[in-house]
């Protein structure tokens, strides 16, 4: 079993590397944000520098068939620039054997979009809407069978496999998980994956205490599994943002027109009861900035969170709440933040989220470990200029969310087992 690339000797070896080059392109097929390409460079450069060659594979968008709009040829130039060598291109990821065989040490080949093939995801395509259950089953079995050949072909190009695509680590796809079985002693995480895995472990496995989770965002329903997993692990659970109002209402508070989910009140009460039983300190908002419409210029008014006016909607955390939360944050040694504590997209309701970003930066400076991951809080810290002032900002929204739900990610398991 091989896990981390620092322990591997790449001299004369061909490495097939799954990266996440799913970058945004404009209508002229120009890359508008190349962060994902740049984040994969340390891994790719290491293999080349040690005298290996790389076969790079990725998906781009969600094509349902071969579609030039989603071709990775649009990004070859930028990948070459970043890598510092001219990158060759294979126009069909399943017909690249000759090009892979011809690669010399220090050379790189980029395969065409893996998702041009249904086999990458292992899900049937083109099924009629009125297909019967039996037809669906048969189509699924067929694509699963041909998936084996698809993966075997990819594996035949290389001597070793590196997964550096955290963004798709929660998917059991051909290139993210299944391919690993062809490299029982030559499979490993790239640097980006390694960083993400260590960040998750720093919070969920080896946290220095007190450990605090700040969970915000819009809905309890999308974070239920996160809350249920964390309530058994953390010392403090700060629940903010739109989802906080369901908890306030569950305890008999008046929340005016604030976002809430009545059907989740029993779950909210269960989470609060579990927290009490386990001695976890739950901190809800005590004071709210409310608006009269979901609009930046709507009139604003501060209310006690359990007594919001009938015509008002809670849209941000107010100073008394933020003071409470700051105390908790400053007393913590490990902090996980997922989800904004207000409607941060509207500048007049972004103050709470900005304050949390500042508090996390200060806590980090004082020696706490701070991880921002899994959703809009990543966009918030990046946009607000705090990304390099916290310990780690995750690159994988869905993957990080599933990790903090306590799930085992197939892309990680495939390397570890
Ligand atoms: P999520 O994707 O679940 O992390 O939710 C992020 C979204 O929650 C952002 O778009 C925020 O605008 C939204 N949000 C945060 N606080 C509130 C609130 N009080 N009312 C409505 N939406 C909110």
Which protein residue's CA is at the shortest distance from atom 6 of ligand 1? 217
pTM above 0.85, yes or no: yes
- 362 and 272 in one domain? yes
- Say what the alpha-carbon torsion angle 375, 402, 167, 1 is, to the nearest 10 degrees: 150
- 265 and 164 in one domain? no
- 254 and 150 in one domain? no
- 270 and 139 in one domain? no
Which protein residue's CA is at the shortest distance from atom 10 of ligand 1? 343
Q: Does residue 416 belong to any structural domain of this protein?
A: no
259 close to ligand 1 (CB < 6 Angstrom): yes
The catalytic residues are 36, 219, 375, 398
Question: What is the model's pLDDT at position 417?
Answer: 86
- Cα–Cα dist 303/296, whole Å: 18
Contacts of 150 (CB under 8 A, 6+ apart): 94, 117, 119, 120, 174
- 211 and 160 in one domain? no
- Cα–Cα dist 69/332, whole Å: 47
Distances from the Cα of 41 to the Cα of 4, 14, 116, 191, angstroms:
16, 16, 24, 9
DSSP string across 75-108: GHHHHHHHHTSPEEEESSTTS-HHHHHT--TT-E
Task: Please state the length of the chain.
Answer: 417
Q: Does residue 412 belong to any structural domain of this protein?
A: no
- 118 and 59 in one domain? yes
- 222 and 113 in one domain? no
- 379 and 244 in one domain? yes
Q: Report the chain (417 residues): mean pLDDT per 10 consecutive residues.
A: 83 98 94 93 98 98 96 98 98 98 98 98 91 93 96 98 96 97 96 95 96 96 95 96 98 98 98 97 98 97 98 98 98 97 97 97 98 88 94 91 94 94
For the chain, how big is the Rg over CA atoms in Å? Answer: 24
221 close to ligand 1 (CB < 6 Angstrom): no
Q: Does residue 411 belong to any structural domain of this protein?
A: no
CATH number of the domain to which 302 belongs = 3.40.50.1260
- Say if residue 388 is exposed, middle or buried (CB neighbours under 10 Å; 0-12, 13-18, 19+): exposed
Q: Which of the 8 DSSP states describes residue 25? A: B
Q: Does residue 409 belong to any structural domain of this protein?
A: no
Domain boundary among 166, 189, 212: 189
Distances from the Cα of 390 to the Cα of 103, 199, 360, 370, angstroms:
40, 12, 6, 6
- 206 and 184 in one domain? no
Relative to the CA of 376, which ligand 1 atom is closest?
A: 4
Q: In 3D, which of 110, 106, 140 has the Cα closest to residue 125?
A: 140
- 264 and 161 in one domain? no
- 232 and 124 in one domain? no
345 close to ligand 1 (CB < 6 Angstrom): yes
Domain boundary among 172, 189, 206: 189
- 95 and 165 in one domain? yes
Question: What is the model's pLDDT at position 375?
Answer: 75
Which protein residue's CA is at the shortest distance from atom 11 of ligand 1? 343
Structural domain that includes position 133: 5-189
Q: Does residue 234 belong to any structural domain of this protein?
A: yes
Q: Does residue 62 belong to any structural domain of this protein?
A: yes
**Which one of 343, 373, 378 would you pick to mutate in the ligand 1 pocket, going by the greatest count of ligand atoms within 8 A of its CB?**
343
Q: Does residue 332 belong to any structural domain of this protein?
A: yes
Question: What is the model's pLDDT at position 62?
Answer: 95
Q: Does residue 316 belong to any structural domain of this protein?
A: yes
Number of domains in the chain: 2
Domain boundary among 189, 206, 241: 189
């Amino acid at each position: 079993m091989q896990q981390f690339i620092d322990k591997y000797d790449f001299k004369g070896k061909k490495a097939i590397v799954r990266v996440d080059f799913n970058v945004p392109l404009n209508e002229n097929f120009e890359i508008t944000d190349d962060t994902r390409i740049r984040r994969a460079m340390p891994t790719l450069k290491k293999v080349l520098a040690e005298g290996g060659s790389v076969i790079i594979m990725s998906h781009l968008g969600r094509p349902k068939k071969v579609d030039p709009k989603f071709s990775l040829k649009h990004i070859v130039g930028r990948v070459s620039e970043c890598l510092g060598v001219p990158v060759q291109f294979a126009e069909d990821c399943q017909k690249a054997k000759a090009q892979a065989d011809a690669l010399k040490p220090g050379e790189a080949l980029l395969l065409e979009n893996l998702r041009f093939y249904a086999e990458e995801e292992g899900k049937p395509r083109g099924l009629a809407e009125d297909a019967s259950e039996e037809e669906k089953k048969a189509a699924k079995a067929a694509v699963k069978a041909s998936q084996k050949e698809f993966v075997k072909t990819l594996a035949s190009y290389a001597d070793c496999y590196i997964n550096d695509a955290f963004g798709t680590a929660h998917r059991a796809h051909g290139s993210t998980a299944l391919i690993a079985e062809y490299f029982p002693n030559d499979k490993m995480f790239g640097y980006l994956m390694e960083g993400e895995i260590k960040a998750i472990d720093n919070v969920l496995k080896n946290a220095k205490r007190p450990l605090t989770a700040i969970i915000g965002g819009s809905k309890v329903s999308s974070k239920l599994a996160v809350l249920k997993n964390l309530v058994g692990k953390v010392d403090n659970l700060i629940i903010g943002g739109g989802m906080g109002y369901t908890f306030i209402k569950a305890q008999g508070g008046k929340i005016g027109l604030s976002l809430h989910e009545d059907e989740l009140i029993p779950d909210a009460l269960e989470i609060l009861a579990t927290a009490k039983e386990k001695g976890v300190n739950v901190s809800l908002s005590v004071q709210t900035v409310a608006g009269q419409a979901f609009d930046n210029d709507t009139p604003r008014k501060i209310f006690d969170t359990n007594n919001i006016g009938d015509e008002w909607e809670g849209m941000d955390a107010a100073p008394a709440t933020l003071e409470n939360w700051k105390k908790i944050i400053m007393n913590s040694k490990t902090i996980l933040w997922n989800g904004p504590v207000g409607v941060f997209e509207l500048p007049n309701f972004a103050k709470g989220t900005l304050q949390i970003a500042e508090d996390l930066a200060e806590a980090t400076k004082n020696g706490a470990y701070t991880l921002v991951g899994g959703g809009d809080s990543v966009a918030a810290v990046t946009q607000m200029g705090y990304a390099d002032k916290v310990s780690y900002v995750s690159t994988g929204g869905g993957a990080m969310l599933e990790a903090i739900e306590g799930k085992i990610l197939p892309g990680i398991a495939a390397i570890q087992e």
